[in-house]
């Protein structure tokens, strides 16, 4: 991280500290709360750079809006279809799952990401 600009370092710190998979607008708000005054273009360019460098992940999951994840190890996500809340799923896949998918599809599986859709606890409680 020695060659990161001040702006990129600040954006990276916000993403790494966030567990709610923020959008670029969320990140911008959090930077303002920390008294940073970066232009939107600076934040978007920083996010693009950090993704390209493999320091964060860009998630394309709901509503066409990119969300960002600072957790780099392999994991999956669950998304609430009502409120849009996104949480990490750390449960490992069954041992032969990827081999079965490869056998079924003929693909050489290089990476994977599962997304579980449903209702979060809060939305379930609100519906009762």
Architecture of domain 76-127: 2-Layer Sandwich (3.30)
* Dihedral Cα 48, 54, 56, 60, nearest 10 deg: 70
Dist CA 10 CA 51 (whole Å): 14
CATH annotation of 6-69: 1.10.10.10
pLDDT by position in tens, the chain (length 128): 558 999 999 999 999 999 899 999 999 999 999 999 999 999 999 999 999 999 999 998 767 789 999 999 889 999 999 998 899 999 988 989 999 999 999 999 998 889 999 999 999 999 88
| Paired residues of 60 in beta bridges | 66
| pLDDT value of position 1 | 54
| pLDDT value of position 2 | 55
Judged by phi (left if over 0) then psi (alpha if -120 to 50, else beta), residue 35 lies in: left
Domain ranges of the chain: 6-69, 76-127
60, exposed or middle or buried, with CB in 10 Å at 0-12, 13-18, 19+? exposed
| pLDDT value of position 106 | 97
Coil vs helix vs strand at 60: strand
Coil vs helix vs strand at 67: strand
In this structure, how many other beta carbons lie within 10 angstroms of the beta carbon of residue 106?
Answer: 6
| pLDDT value of position 28 | 97
């Amino acid at each position: 991280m020695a060659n990161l600009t001040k702006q990129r370092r600040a954006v990276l710190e916000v993403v790494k500290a966030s567990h709610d998979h923020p959008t670029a607008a969320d990140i911008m708000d959090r930077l303002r709360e920390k008294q940073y005054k970066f232009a939107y273009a600076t934040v978007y360019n920083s996010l693009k750079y950090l993704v390209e460098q493999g320091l964060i992940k860009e998630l394309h999951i709901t509503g066409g809006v990119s969300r960002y994840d600072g957790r780099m190890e392999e994991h999956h996500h669950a998304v609430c279809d009502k409120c849009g809340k996104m949480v990490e799923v750390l449960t490992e896949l069954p041992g032969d799952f990827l081999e079965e998918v490869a056998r079924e599809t003929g693909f050489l599986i290089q990476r994977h990401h599962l997304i579980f859709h449903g209702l979060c606890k809060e939305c379930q409680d609100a519906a009762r």
